[in-house]
Amino acid sequence: MKGQGRGLQAYALLYLLFLYAPIILLPLFAFNSGTIIAFPLQGFTTDWFSQMWANATLRTALANSLLIAVSAAVLATCLGIFAARASTRFEFPGKGGMMGFILLPMVLPEIIVAMSLLVVLLGAGVQLSILTVILGHVLICMPYAIAILSTAFSSLDKSLEEAAYDLGETRWSAFRLVTLPLVMPGIISSLLISFTISLDEFIIAFFLAGNQPTLPTYIFSQLRFPKQIPMIMALGTVLVALSIVLLALGEYFRRRGNARMGGNPTRGFL
Amino acid sequence: MAKGGLDAQARQGYALIAPPFLYAALVLAAPLLTILAYSFLTDGYLEVVREFTWANYVQVWTDPIVRTVMLRSLMVSALVTLVTVALAFPVAYYVSFLVRPQKKATWLFLITIPFWTSYLIRVFLWKVILGYNGVVNSSLTGLGIIDEPLTFILYNVNSIVITLAHAYAPFAILPIFVALEKIDRSLLEAGRDLGESRAMTFWRVTLPLAMPGVLAAVLIVFIPTIGDYVTPELIGGGKIPMIANLIQVQMLALDNRPLGSALAVTTMAIVAVVSIVFLLINRRFLKVRS
């Protein structure tokens, strides 16, 4: 048993190294003064970061991406609350089919979602813009929001709401005063996850943004120019740091939520 | 009363599910039906002619370029799925069976973090790691292990497989982990008590019970990889296109929407067939469980 455990542990650690290899390299190249992304490293520099701050297109792309991600996260979470509430609290004919349909974007190749939406938007004469990207991002964020929110809603004790009704609260005030605070950690992690997905989403933004840059499409356009790559590495470093902070926050709220539900605070993701 | 109650409940349920359902109908179902319709229409100059035809599908199934790309996409996705799931299973097993319960969430958190960092930059960095003067080759030549840079990991199908196996790792680990967590540990003790060896217990008890998770992982990895656009573009340098790149070229660069639609519909059909096959296999394993 001991030997088997050791072997597996060594394998798991190696696997983690494999998972983290790109992330470990990112800051190395971001602070490397050489312009070519290869070993051996040259010297230490923060030039790429200042070059990044001074880049006007990048700033536009960031502003666009933030606007898209915030809108998509809020809309997907709002729609997700409806779906999660419906699926965990009510029984009605066709529920499975309807839920399956809403969750479909999770298992559909993204290129097909993007292309079909693009064809329809172009056919309808809609001007491609940030709005059309938001439209697509809400669609692909919604299933993840629903998955997280369903967990939050299903671990909710139904009798708490019933107690509120018995104490004279209306359906809406019971939802606002009892249910909502209890599922709040779920809502926050749904917002964070949707935000992160949207911020990093490339395919839909690439095809539906028209000539508006978003962060991923800007990165993609710059990867063709070797001169720009050190700056992209600096940008990547910042993005990774940001993602880790956001994820740690999300994890914190999820654990606190589980603890508040009286569950095990270390319970897993699913 | 009972019937009235049920109706009220059903009404409330429908009212609640309506907004997300209508949104998905508008933004997903309508576009999918449109490309389904387009795939049977004729391509004209700068427009789609409303004439019914099977020609697009005939072309999709007979054109040698389309066939090469389609087969390559299937092969790459199958290979990626195999590699990803095979590499992921021991990790999921380790976290589920050997990590202390208090530490499991932390392990899962560590496994998911890399997945949330910029996909494009991760893909690009694999190009850096595997490239001609990349991390692997320069370290190996530097250490004197090899004289010439390894070429089998260079801008080809192998590098696409490695990159995608990295990108979809958490998608494979999580479902397998969940399935392993559900296994009643006393069944394993029973297997041992009845005189099975550790390996046989794993083979005859643990693995069949973990199969639903493994099959879920297979589907979750297979479906998005077959439609992956970025990796062939960045790693393959556009020289080894997969089906997504072909759809994009037909739809936009060549402006042949009907043929592009037929390609997209065919891809979805293939994905659907593969999914159904795996779901049927899964049903067999679920029967074993109950």
Mean pLDDT of A172-185: 85
Task: Give the gap in angstroms from C-alpha B64 to the nearest C-alpha of chain A.
Answer: 22
Q: List A residues 87-146 in contact with B (Cβ-Cβ < 8 A).
A: 87, 89-93, 95, 98-99, 101-102, 104-105, 107-113, 115-120, 123, 135-136, 138-139, 142, 146
B248-264 tens-digit pLDDT: 888 887 778 888 889 99
Residue of B nearest to A199 (CA): B118
Q: At what angle do helices A130-154 and A56-89 cross, to 10 degrees?
A: 40
Per residue in B177-193, is it b (16+ CB within 10 Å) or e — as a string?
bbbbbebeeeebeebee
B99-146 tens-digit pLDDT: 888 888 888 888 888 887 788 888 888 888 887 667 777 777 777 777
Residue of B nearest to A118 (CA): B31
* Percent with pLDDT over 90 in chain A: 23
Q: How many helices (H) and strands (E) does chain B have?
A: 15, 2
- Among A162-171, A241-250, B178-187, the minimum mean pLDDT is found in A241-250
A42-81 tens-digit pLDDT: 778 888 888 888 888 889 999 999 999 999 999 999 999 9
Taking the C-alpha atoms of residue A33 and residue A29, their distance in angstroms, rounded to an integer, is: 8
Q: What is the pLDDT of residue B38?
A: 86
Question: What string of DSSP letters covers A82-109?
Answer: HHHHHHHH---TTHHHHHHHHHGGGGS-
pLDDT higher than 60, residue A268:
no
C-alpha B66, offset from chain centre: 21
Q: What is the pLDDT of residue B151?
A: 65
Task: Give the gap in angstroms from C-alpha A29 to the nearest C-alpha of chain B.
Answer: 10
Domain definitions of chain B by residue range: 57-289
Q: Are A45 and A31 in contact (CB under 8 A)?
A: yes
Here the ipTM equals 0.80
H helices within chain A, ranges in order? 2-30, 47-53, 56-89, 95-103, 110-123, 130-154, 158-166, 171-174, 180-200, 203-208, 215-222, 229-260
Q: What is the pLDDT of residue B2?
A: 45
Place of tokens 């602070």: A31
Q: What is the pLDDT of residue B145?
A: 73
- State chain A's mean pLDDT as an integer: 84
Q: What is the pLDDT of residue B3?
A: 47
Which residues in chain B have their CB less than 8 angstroms from residue A101's CB?
21, 24-25, 28-29
Find, among A120, A113, A131, A112, the residue nearest to A209 by Cα. Answer: A131
Q: What is the pLDDT of residue A3?
A: 60
Cβ of B220 and A107 within 8 Å? Answer: yes
Question: What is the fold, at CATH topology level, of the domain defined by B57-289?
Answer: MetI-like fold (1.10.3720)
Contact of A147 with chain B, judged by CB distance below 8 Å, is answered with: no
Q: Are A51 and A231 in contact (CB under 8 A)?
A: yes
Task: Give the gap in angstroms from C-alpha A198 to the nearest C-alpha of chain B.
Answer: 11
Q: What is the pLDDT of residue B238?
A: 67
Nearest CB to B120; choose among A108, A196, A216: A216
A215-249 tens-digit pLDDT: 999 998 888 888 888 888 888 888 888 878 877 88
pLDDT higher than 60, residue B1:
no
Q: What is the pLDDT of residue B152?
A: 64
Residue of A nearest to B99 (CA): A9
Q: What is the pLDDT of residue B85?
A: 93
Place of tokens 């004209």: B44
- Among A77-91, A114-128, B197-211, the minimum mean pLDDT is found in B197-211
Q: What is the pLDDT of residue B200?
A: 82
Find, among B163, B165, B176, the residue nearest to B216 by Cα. Answer: B176
Q: How confident is the model at residue B153 (pLDDT cuts 50, 70, 90)?
A: low
Q: What is the pLDDT of residue A135?
A: 93
Instruction: Write down all domains in chain A, each with its CATH number in brackets.
Output: 42-260 (1.10.3720.10)
Q: What is the pLDDT of residue A269?
A: 41
The Cα-based distances of B125 to A24, A102, A184, B118, B289 in angstroms read: 10, 34, 37, 11, 42
Place of tokens 């009286």: A262
Q: At what angle do helices B2-24 and A56-89 cross, to 10 degrees?
A: 160
Q: What is the pLDDT of residue B46?
A: 64
Contact of A205 with chain B, judged by CB distance below 8 Å, is answered with: no
Task: Give the gap in angstroms from C-alpha B141 to the nearest C-alpha of chain A.
Answer: 11
